[in-house]
Amino acid sequence: MLSTEEAEEIKQKLISHIEETFPPEQIIPSINQIKNMNTEHLEKFLEENKIITNKNSEKECIFCSIVSGIINSIKIDEEENAVAVLEINPISRGHTLVIPKEHSINANKKSLSFAEKVGEKIKKKFKPKKIEFLNSKLFGHETISILPVYDNETFNSTKKPAGIEELKKIKEELEESEIPIQEENIVKKKEEFLWLPKRIP
């Protein structure tokens, strides 16, 4: 049986998926249906739609569903062993979840290294005071949360739902590169050099 916290987390992920992929006329009725489910009905719904593992099946857990694309997410990075997606109920700007692609109760060392790399990327772009990491185990699948700390945020701080457009904007900011700016500077320097007056013999 899912805990209340697990059920609410899953509902938010499903609602995010509905908002991004469903036809406009189906969004509100579908969201209301998810919101009105109790824990027992939600678990049955997840099993019927192959989004959760039960002891008698080979069905996917919710994190495996994110990795495989059954549940949509805002992916900010990926490597062979793991993906990094923006948390849909973030504590702070850039709050990210690293999901190992292999369904396992223990994240491997490569996934941990990948999480550190993603954390550095977030720190460089958004300039938090520090980055904190937390390993969690749900549905037999260990994940790694990356929390940028700007003030006094902790993993026990209040989570707030984020809209798809807000998360997409964060993704775009993280993907912005400084290389074109550097190239532009180089071109300008060349142009300035070309316009220098010629020496008079």
Q: What is the pLDDT of residue 60?
A: 62
Check residues 200 and 67 and name the one with the higher pLDDT.
67
Of 9-18, 110-119, 132-141, which one has max mean pLDDT?
110-119
Position 43 pLDDT exceeds 70 = yes
Q: What's the full length of the chain, in residues? A: 201
Is residue 188 a part of any domain in this protein?
no
Check residues 188 and 127 and name the one with the higher pLDDT.
127
Position 5 pLDDT exceeds 60 = yes
Q: What is the pLDDT of residue 8?
A: 81
156: phi then psi, degrees, rounded to nearest 5: -95, 0
Position 23 pLDDT exceeds 80 = no
Is residue 187 a part of any domain in this protein?
no
Judge whether 149 and 92 are in contact, CB under 8 Å: yes
| Residue 118 half-sphere exposure toward CB, CA atoms < 13 A | 30
Is residue 197 a part of any domain in this protein?
no
Q: What is the pLDDT of residue 20?
A: 67
Q: What is the CATH number of the domain that holds 37?
A: 3.30.428.10
Domain hosting 110: range is: 4-177
pLDDT in tens, 140-179: 888 999 999 999 999 989 888 888 889 999 999 998 864 4
Q: Number of structural domains, the chain?
A: 1
One-letter amino acid for residue 146 of the chain: I
Instruction: Quote the tokens at residue 167.
Output: 């998360």
pLDDT in tens, 78-113: 999 999 999 988 999 999 999 999 888 888 888 999
